Structure 1
């Protein structure tokens, strides 16, 4: 007899193989199967599913999965953080901070969880900002660097 943890290991591996082979629909079907096998109460499952839909399903699917995740695992701070970070990634700052505010209300009696949530979401927001700025800076600098020498990172055009 297998435990739910075994299901998770099997499904994670199987989903990864399907995604690697480009079969996104099969991977999505496997997420649904995993959910039915494990009862949908596994926060790690939901975080993986949100990430999958963010990469392969678009904003509407990612948001729908994130909302289902919070409904299925309301006591898991990682699920709440993933939801807020997904909204940030979709450039929906107001929705992200509303999701964070709801999470902070859920964990009102747990200051450690609240601090972790704030740090997690704020850190992700800051990383997205740095990534955006760094990407724009690299693109700007590439215009002034010879393409044949660009991989070395030196020698500007005159």
Structure 2
């Protein structure tokens, strides 16, 4: 039979251990480099625009993860963009049937790679309303919509990395 004192002592140890691991998580991971792979976007119809997305995602990650980035001092963050889909209707985005018809989507996998070995992997799906790019009639609305997806994705990556 477990005594009250043994239970409380054991619970205190669990709490202390949990707080220690929470504190380590709160400090975040140090990232030594960022690599973005857009090879799957080219055959999906993005063509040369895939490379512009790659550069924009690298910049967005550098800004979002700035405090975690220490060149050469940690594992490489390797992000593979699996797909980017922009909804054809850039209106209100609220159909009411739960279908998400007004959402733009991006799927990616963020991996921490150290010495050629994957040490962590995070699949991420980012959703933004198609209206996130502003007025539909602006000439740069699609670039703004993609930028909103990239920013959302980078924030999820930062969250998973403990930042």
Classify the TM-score, shorter chain: under 0.3
Q: Give the structure with the larger strand fraction.
A: 2
**TM-score, normalising length: structure 2:** 0.22
